[in-house]
Structure 1
Amino acid sequence: MSSTTILSVEGVGKTFGGFRALNDVTVKIGEKSIHALIGPNGAGKSTLINVISGRLTPTCGRVIFRGESIGGRPAHETARRGVARSFQITSIFGSASVFENVQIALLAQNGLCTRMFSESRSLLRDEAFSFLESVKLVEQANRVAGELAAGDRKRLEFAIALAGNPRVMLLDEPTAGMSPDERTIIANIIQSINQERGVAVFFTEHDIDMVFSIANRVTVLHQGSCIADDTPVAVRMDRRVQEVYLGEDENADLY
């Protein structure tokens, strides 16, 4: 993992009424890294992703991207600056083809929205296929997007996010509801996006095996607070982390 920090969360807190969802959370995401965020249900993982992406405004603290404060900025502005959340970039057009979904995202990114519904199939064709290749969807390019299986829809969302040329991708439970085979495919694609395109990935995930197989660094939240932030090996050995997971589920296992 790169020692250069591309995005940092500094002392972030978030309250909803009298409920404190995040408490003084600090996380540093390395450039070109794969950084996992784990914790029991209700730990604050999705809230933190929402704060970073601009969907929620932090109650206190800062979110810094490439030296600039982005905390509290609108989600679309945060995405344009290079911090993408796959399913927040755009909705999938179910009646359009897989190729057209990525092409539309590219047209929007390049300020060509006025040509979006014209005879524009040739526009940015190579770029669209390049992103489909990254997520292994080229063979389904002409398929109607609404007919895709859950795992394939997730891959299409990744391709749409990549069309925004992000430097960081935020993924909230990218393998939720998937079969073991589908989870393996998604894990491989995340690694490919990271290694081939140099995009840092910050993701939440309940599949511990996946987390420890692909992450360079792991942050653990519990009741809104960070209780561990270290290499996967160190987090596995952390007694507090083991207690949190074993306390949630007697069958939980970090090994």
Structure 2
Amino acid sequence: MKKMLLLGAAFAALALSLPAQAELKFKPGEDPRFHWANYDDLKKVDLKGETLTIFGPWRGEDEGLVRTVLEYFQEATGAEIKYSSSENYEQQIVIDTQAGSPPNIAVLPQPGLIQDLASKGLLTPLGDDTAKWVKDNYGAGQSWVDLGTFKDKDGKPGFFAFPYKADVKSLVWYSPDNFEEAGYKVPKTQEELADLEKKIIADGGKPWCIGLGSGGATGWPATDWVEDIML
């Protein structure tokens, strides 16, 4: 398999192969909750003897879930899959690409980092056909294509990042009854939001209530919220 780096919207850690004969969690074709057409199509692709390296951010329980999904690809195609991660995966992927030893696929959540790698010629474009597939099959269509499009080292735009997993974060909830009672209007711009915040404070209220219960995590809810405000 050609050594190239393809990115989805992430090898300091030891790369571990999936078992050659994995016990699939759901038997293909028998569980009606799933659409098995893609799995049947994959069975037509013979990748026996090939190795697919994937580098991503998932560790612990999340890694276990990802491996459960990857087992279906391995079972259908015959390819050997080696998945690896690192606590500092954002820094590690830079080191690996610059050293000429990138994984075939990296999963990265930072568009800025993807742009930096693309501008240095370290990524392989996915092509117009893949971009068209995303446009035709993703609900947000062209916006997802735009999000995965970056300029290469020659300044030419290319589709480099396939949106694999998206999370909805930092939603702002409000009580319509309370707004109606106080005479507040839902803001449509950042400036209107700032004005409303000042008005609520002037009225003796507290404009924000932020949930930061992240268990044993390192405060990512607050980080995400601040990043959204900055963006």
TM-score of Structure 1 vs Structure 2, range by shorter chain: under 0.3
TM-score (normalised: structure 1): 0.23
Higher strand share: 1
TM-score (normalised: structure 2): 0.25
Query: Of the two structures, which has the highest relative contact order with CA contacts closer than 8 Å and spacing of 6 or more?
Result: 1
